[in-house]
A and B are shown apart, each in its own frame.
Chain A
Amino acid sequence: MRILALIAVIITGAILIYGTQDMPDWADPQSPASTHVSPRYIEKTLEETATPNAVTSVLADYRGYDTLGETTVIFTAGVCCILILRIRRRHRK
């Protein structure tokens, strides 16, 4: 079992490292991630959302729906814990 797990882990790691070969270099300002979608968030944040902090403007405005999902996840987890751990105390006296 341990051996199997180890083999699975090594294969997964090897595939992941194989994939990094074609990645843009670390901290490259010309990488697609830095040039395709994100520049607008920085350049237009003041104009469109009046917030100097770009992270805040993306979190709460551009991708605000994700944040709604995030709060829902927390709510779900809270109710899940109550559901799992709540015990009826009727029998104890």
Chain B
Amino acid sequence: MLVFWVFVSILIVAAAGYFLGRTRALSSAGGDIRQLHSVPGYHGTNVFLFTAVPSLLVMAIWLLVQPLAVQNAVTSMIPADAVPAGSSMSIIMADVQRVADGLDTAIQAGAMTEEQASSLDAASTDVRERLAKVGVALAGDVRPEVLKAAQRYRALTATGSLSLAIVSVVLALGGFVMAWRQIAPRFRARNTVEAFVKGLLIAAASIAILTTVGIVLSLIFNTIEFFGLYPATDFFFGLTWVPSFGGGSELGILPLLWGTLYISFIALAVAVPIGLMAAIYLSEYASPMVRNFAKPLLEVLAGIPTIVYGLFALLTVGPLLLSVFGDNTVGWMQAGTAVMTAGLVMGIMLIPFVSSLSDDIINAVPQAMRDGSLGLGATHSETIKQVVLPAALPGIVGAILLAASRAIGETMIVVLGAGAAARLSLNPFDAMTTVTAKIVSQLTGDADFASPEALVAFALGMTLFVITLGLNILALYIVRKYREQYE
């Protein structure tokens, strides 16, 4: 809360700085605007930026680093021999965190005073019961070293926030004074402001890089932790997937990869012929009226959220397929959720994706090539099959690869439509599961993040990320190469 008010007051000071700076600039030129190098607004903006930006930047970095630093300091308080067998440091730290949060809640609820919270003693009071009274449920009794650590954690956090407030306010005032004293008729305020703004623009552009770095780091660290608990060879080459949170799980990725690829294959088998033929018809045959009508309608399919397709698979397509292939007729299908259900619905979702990409690519084939072929007496369809499509082939392959990467990364349709059983089977009417569906099931629920059963989701995510990234880079490379050919 303190941090929030500091934030607000920095903004207020900075806003005041803008108006004061503007007035001072004008008065420094004796009210004659022609004496100034930059218009007064730039002087004001300069004050605003120097007041707000450095202090808010420090604030943001501080807020990111503080939990880490506090965590480290507290971790060193817990002796290594206090970690029971079968547990780990991160589990204990999670306990510490929970107790500390619980104490905060208790103080807010008025069940404890600040002093009581910091002087509680695990030996003399039942902390768990006291916290339960204010609605904080703890899994087990609070051990003395955990309570100590939690109290230390709170103390350090409080000190941290206080120093953060002081540092950022000092920085804001310092920036204000500095920019204020610079104001003079000859001061090139516009140039400094523009340099500043350019810096901000570069920072914004770098967020894309930061996101990628964040994704890679969050995947890598947790994956390494997972491979420390579970052998990598068993993960990559294991043929069974039987997670059990009690321990003794078998976490082989192959059945999941098989399910993913099988579903994606069916989806592409639906989407590619339909999407490609639709694109050919729309770009080569259709009258403008048909094109203007059919193209946006097909693209509506692309704008529908995947949760809708998931529900469609679960409640409409699944039962429909079951009534055709189920026990009453041929008996191939046991339940509505199956590879076929998910694959078919995902195929529907991908139709507009394939068709609009192929449409662009077919349109990029130069008209001269078509004219040449038609001039030699080929029919329209012969021209398309023997001239346009071969010329567009690399681009179309790129589009299909992009669609494949979409299919592999799709989550909601398979979570709802494909079933939950991990199996290696050839029957498309069997329920199977995919990498994405298992990421969801391993990370939702109350699993503790330190167990291999939860951490495996990060290894799965890493695999998924590497596969889709590879496909995307390949596809973008092919498409780009192809475009250059005709530009």
Q: Is chain B a partner of chain A in the same complex?
A: no
Interface residues of B (CB under 8 A from A): none
Residue positions of A touching B, CB distance < 8 A: none
